[in-house]
């Protein structure tokens, strides 16, 4: 059984550095990130089950770099820089595929799945010696966890398990490696990547951006969360990862004036075999009722991970931000994947990956709820690429998106000096402090 343990998080107190606006638009700052930050950190890059068989590969852009992840004949995954060791052409522009070897489009050098050079035309004509059997593709340190492929450009990096610290154990309980994608949107955003992480590092904006009309009286937004910082648990790890646990499952915002429960909670309760009418006028009691029902009914419906979960994991938001560029809300049966990638050349743009993975109970046919509404459990998502504003990301994330663009415009103004953080924004403050620590060679 997974144990909630505040003590396992170090909760360092932020030093209180000044966070100005220029870091969100400055090219110098972007260069420093490329020199001191990105090559030193573990990055979540891809999904293991998209590389089922030997020779399956996927390329993923990360800022100015591109990486190829390849399933090997021995079942492991290797990752290489997507660049030919002859004269530096990019090896492939295919986002994914299956191959026996990579043939460079320039002079046709052939590279094996293991990264060895197998063929080069006129191989006898090289004064430094035959490149075959000598040159290799440059490999990137790679590990897998929770069904994801993670990389680190620093070959001396600590293990992924050590890097993730308390997050590792928290996530293991959910069996996330078996979960499947139901939404996969990659969106070019009009803001620096850090604006996205700032936003997912605080819950101070929930009442104002996501439910202004409900917040004043109840402090609880439509999904039934208690958004007050006073009842929310915030944890920081020394590695720079954060956790926020916010109580949920309440009926306040979904009740009408007569105290009757309405959707979406009404349908959710019915799905779990609870009669919502019994809870008329008792908004405080639905959280516990949901926890009990899921605990009782889940295993027989094939939700194998429920036996590993604590009661609050059936109702409460378990939100994580992994330093530096990944955030996720881990719901009982949903992994709301929020990753920001730097733009290759423009500090005022970024790529935002907005995915949703859901659990795969053995017997259950119930629909899956993503931010874009209810989807068919049997239909997995295909990846979409678009520019911000061309398509919806679902109401909540669209609301965040509006703020991202607004804040980018404001932060480049001479009228903004520095951020003035609340205590409940400590995760944002610490995030910037850590980036500066990396610049100064201070490791967590
Ligand atoms: S650059 Fe790849 S074969 Fe020449
Ligand atoms: Fe938000």
How many angstroms does the Cα of residue 117 sit away from the middle of ligand 1? Answer: 11
Decide: 45 and 62 in contact? Cβ < 8 Å.
yes
Q: How confident is the model at residue 142 (pLDDT cuts 50, 70, 90)?
A: very high
User: Which atom of ligand 1 is least distant from the CA of 104?
Assistant: 2
pLDDT on residue 2 = 39
Q: Using a 6 Å CB cutoff, which residues line ligand 1?
A: 84, 86-87, 89, 104, 106-109
How many angstroms does the Cα of residue 63 sit away from the middle of ligand 1? Answer: 22
How many angstroms does the Cα of residue 26 sit away from the middle of ligand 1? Answer: 34
Q: How confident is the model at residue 6 (pLDDT cuts 50, 70, 90)?
A: low
**Distance between CA atoms of residues 71 and 91, nearest Å:** 17
User: Which atom of ligand 1 is least distant from the CA of 109?
Assistant: 3
Q: How confident is the model at residue 212 (pLDDT cuts 50, 70, 90)?
A: low
State whether the Cα torsion 339-344-345-351 is positive or negative.
negative
pLDDT by residue (tens digit) across 9-62? 888 888 999 999 999 999 999 999 999 999 999 999 999 999 999 999 999 999
Structural domains of the chain, ranges and CATH numbers in brackets: 6-83+138-248+316-439 (3.90.380)
Ligand 1 pocket: which of 107, 117, 125 to mutate (most atoms <8 Å of CB)?
Answer: 107
pLDDT on residue 222 = 65
How many angstroms does the Cα of residue 203 sit away from the middle of ligand 2? Answer: 7
| Other CB atoms within 10 Å distance of the CB of residue 387 | 11
How many angstroms does the Cα of residue 210 sit away from the middle of ligand 2? Answer: 7
**Closest ligand, as measured to the CA of 225:** 2
Q: Which two tokens mark 439?
A: 């610049």
**Closest ligand, as measured to the CA of 327:** 2
**Closest ligand, as measured to the CA of 84:** 1
Give CA 49 to chain center in angstroms.
Answer: 17
How many angstroms does the Cα of residue 197 sit away from the middle of ligand 2? Answer: 11
Residues 138-150, mean pLDDT to the nearest whole number: 98
Q: Give 171: exposed, middle or buried? Use CB within 10 Å, 0-12, 13-18, 19+.
A: buried
Decide: 140 and 153 in contact? Cβ < 8 Å.
yes
pLDDT on residue 219 = 59
Please give the helix or strand (H or E) that residue 32 lies within, else none: helix 27-32
Give the number of residues written for the chain: 444
Nearest-CA residue for atom 3 of ligand 1: 107
User: Which atom of ligand 1 is least distant from the CA of 89?
Assistant: 1
How many angstroms does the Cα of residue 406 sit away from the middle of ligand 2? Answer: 14
pLDDT on residue 1 = 36
pLDDT by residue (tens digit) across 147-190? 999 999 999 999 999 999 999 999 999 999 999 999 999 999 99
Ligand 1 pocket: which of 89, 93, 101 to mutate (most atoms <8 Å of CB)?
Answer: 89
Predicted TM-score (pTM) of the model is 0.94
> Percent of the chain beyond pLDDT 90?
84
pLDDT by residue (tens digit) across 370-419? 888 888 899 999 999 999 999 999 999 999 999 999 999 999 999 999 99
State whether the Cα torsion 23-27-28-31 is positive or negative.
positive
Mean per-residue pLDDT over the chain, rounded: 93
């Amino acid at each position: 059984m997974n144990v909630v343990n505040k003590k396992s998080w170090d909760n360092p107190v932020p030093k209180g550095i000044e966070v100005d606006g220029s870091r969100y638009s400055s090219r110098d700052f972007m260069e420093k990130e490329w020199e001191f930050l990105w090559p030193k950190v573990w990055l979540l890059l891809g999904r293991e089950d998209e590389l089922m068989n030997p020779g399956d590969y996927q390329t993923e852009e990360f800022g100015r770099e591109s990486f190829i992840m390849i399933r090997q004949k021995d079942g492991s995954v290797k990752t290489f820089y997507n660049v030919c060791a002859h004269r530096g052409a990019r090896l492939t522009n295919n986002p994914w595929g299956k191959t026996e070897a990579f043939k460079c489009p320039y002079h046709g050098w052939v590279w094996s799945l293991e990264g060895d050079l197998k063929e080069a035309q006129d191989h006898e004509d090289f004064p430094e010696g035959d490149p075959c059997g000598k040159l290799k593709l440059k490999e990137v340190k790679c590990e897998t966890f929770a069904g994801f492929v993670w990389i680190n450009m620093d070959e001396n990096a600590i293990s992924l398990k050590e890097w993730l610290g308390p997050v590792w154990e928290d996530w293991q309980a959910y069996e996330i490696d078996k979960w499947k994608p139901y939404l996969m949107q990659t969106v070019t955003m009009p803001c620096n990547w850090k604006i996205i992480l700032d936003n997912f590092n605080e819950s101070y904006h929930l009442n104002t951006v996501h439910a202004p009309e409900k917040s004043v009286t109840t402090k609880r937004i439509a999904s039934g969360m208690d958004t007050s910082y006073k009842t929310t648990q915030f944890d920081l790890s020394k590695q720079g990862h954060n956790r926020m646990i916010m109580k949920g499952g309440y009926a306040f915002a979904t009740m009408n004036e007569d105290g009757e429960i309405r959707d979406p909670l009404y349908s959710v309760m019915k799905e779990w075999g609870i009669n919502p009418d019994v809870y008329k006028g008792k908004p405080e009691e639905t959280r516990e009722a949901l926890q009990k029902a899921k605990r009782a009914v889940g295993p027989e419906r094939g939700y194998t991970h429920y036996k590993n979960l604590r009661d609050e994991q059936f109702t409460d938001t378990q939100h994580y931000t992994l330093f530096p560029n990944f955030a996720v809300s881990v719901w009982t049966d949903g992994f709301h994947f929020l990753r920001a990638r730097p733009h290759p050349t423009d500090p005022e743009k970024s790529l935002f990956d907005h995915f949703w993975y859901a659990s795969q109970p053995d017997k259950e046919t119930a629909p899956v709820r993503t931010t874009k509404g209810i989807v068919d459990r049997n239909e997995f998502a295909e990846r979409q690429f678009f520019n911000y504003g061309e398509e919806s990301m679902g109401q909540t994330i669209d609301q965040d998106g509006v703020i991202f663009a607004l804040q980018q415009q404001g932060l480049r103004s001479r009228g903004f000096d520095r951020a003035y953080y609340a205590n409940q924004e400590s995760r944002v403050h610490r995030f910037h402090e850590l980036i500066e620590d990396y610049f100064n060679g201070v490791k967590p």
